[in-house]
Amino acid sequence: MKLLVVDDSNVIRSQIKRSLALNDVEIIGDAANGIDALNTFRSQQPELVTMDLTMPELDGLHCIEQIMAINPKTRILVISALADKETAIEALKKGAQGFLCKPFSDTELNEALQELVKDE
C-alpha cells in the first residue's frame, strides 16, 4: 500500500519514515502543508495517509475533508499534538480512521498503521 506522510515538521516526517516497519507499506511522498498534501495525493493516489492537524496554508481537518471527497476509501491516520477528545472525534467524523497523539514511539506508530491496514 502506498503511504503519504503529511506534517509541517521535517523532524516528524523523518521520524515517521525511519520508524515505519510494515512490509506491505511503501512511502510514496511527503508534504509539509495541506495544499502540498492535496497535490501529492492527486498525483500519487496513495491508499494511506498520516496527517498532522496544525499546519500552515491548509490545516489537517480541512485536508482530510478534501481527501475524502476525492477518494472516500483512503485510510487516514491523524498524528497530532492536539490531545483533546473533541478534536479526535471531529477528525474521525471527517473521515480519519485512527488518531495517534504526539509524542509517539516507533511501536505506537506501527501498531496504529497496522490497525489501519489490517482489513486490506
Partner 1 sequence: MNEIDEHDLQVFIDGVLHYFTQISNETAEVRIPYLIKDDLILDEYTGMIDISGNHKGMIYYSAPRAMLRHILLSLGENGNDDELYSDLIGEIANIISGNARRKLGSDFNISVPKVIRDEIIHMMDMKVHQFAIPIRWKVYTSSLIIRLH
User: Phi and psi dihedrals of 91, rounded to 5?
Assistant: -65, -40
Residue 22 CB, shortest distance to partner 1, in Å, is: 17
- In the bound state with partner 1, the residue whose beta carbon lies nearer, of 108 and 115, is 108
- Using DSSP's 3-state secondary structure scheme, residue 5 falls into strand
Which chain residues interact with partner 1 by CB under 8 A? 8-12, 14-15, 18-19, 54-56, 80-84, 86-87, 101-105
- In the bound state with partner 1, the residue whose beta carbon lies nearer, of 16 and 49, is 16
Residue 45 to residue 36: CA distance in whole angstroms: 13
Residue 60 CB, shortest distance to partner 1, in Å, is: 11
Residue 113 CB, shortest distance to partner 1, in Å, is: 17
- In the bound state with partner 1, the residue whose beta carbon lies nearer, of 14 and 43, is 14
